[in-house]
């Protein structure tokens, strides 16, 4: 049975590990380095994590699962497609801004996962893409959005996802403002309108 103290220590280890993996890469971070950073011997560290790949799995799945939970909750709300799209976009950018190290690890290193863990993370990512696809299809049914090729969802998500590389939280533009600018560009296009 896991205690509150165990979970607190494990969460601390996950955060420190995410920071190290984001800075040095998953393959560039060794167990000795992790052990030193968290202040635990190897045996104690393994007590909390099981393996280095377990750390990568936990870091990779946590925020994708949170985004899926958020998207699932939106389905229960009576929102039109644009409101749902804006809610998805805002929550995604907030999460990326608040958990940049974890998203860096996810985007850059999740492919180092093997077997069932990799399958679960890929499945969770595809499920999340599906919520965006459903939202765009809702907009088509409402007559608010033009029909789009299915692969365009990956491009739209790429616009949001890769902010982990350059967005600085606490800067002049908040995550909500940036997500609204992205959605506005998506919905309005970038072609100048005749005057």
What is the per-residue pLDDT for 71?
A: 97
What gap in Å lies between CA 166 and CA 9, rounded to an integer? 30
What is the per-residue pLDDT for 1?
A: 61
What is the per-residue pLDDT for 157?
A: 96
Alpha helices per DSSP H over 39-174: 42-49, 52-75, 81-98, 100-109, 115-142, 152-161
State which residues of the chain have pLDDT below 70.
1, 193-194
- Which of 1.10.357.10, 3.40.50.300, 3.40.250.10, 3.40.718.10 is the CATH number of 4-188? 1.10.357.10
pTM of the model: 0.91
Q: What is the pLDDT of residues 84-101, one digit of tens each?
A: 999 999 999 999 999 999
């Amino acid at each position: 049975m896991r205690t509150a103290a165990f979970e607190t220590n494990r969460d601390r280890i996950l955060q420190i590990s995410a920071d190290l993996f984001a800075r040095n890469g998953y393959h560039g971070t060794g167990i000795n380095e992790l052990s030193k950073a968290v202040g635990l011997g190897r045996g104690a560290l393994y007590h909390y994590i099981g393996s280095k790949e377990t750390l990568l799995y936990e870091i990779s799945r946590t925020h994708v699962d949170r985004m899926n939970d958020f998207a699932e909750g939106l389905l229960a709300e009576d929102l039109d497609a644009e409101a749902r799209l804006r809610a998805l976009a805002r929550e995604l950018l907030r999460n990326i801004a608040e958990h940049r190290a974890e998203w860096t690890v996810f985007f850059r290193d999740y492919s180092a996962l093997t077997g069932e863990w990799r399958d679960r993370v890929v499945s969770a990512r595809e499920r999340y893409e599906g919520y965006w696809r459903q939202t765009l299809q809702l907009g088509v049914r409402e007559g608010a959005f033009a029909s789009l090729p299915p692969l365009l969802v990956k491009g739209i998500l790429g616009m949001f996802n890769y902010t982990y590389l350059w967005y600085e939280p606490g800067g002049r533009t908040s995550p909500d403002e940036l997500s609204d600018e992205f959605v506005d560009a998506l919905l309005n296009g970038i072609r100048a309108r005749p005057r």
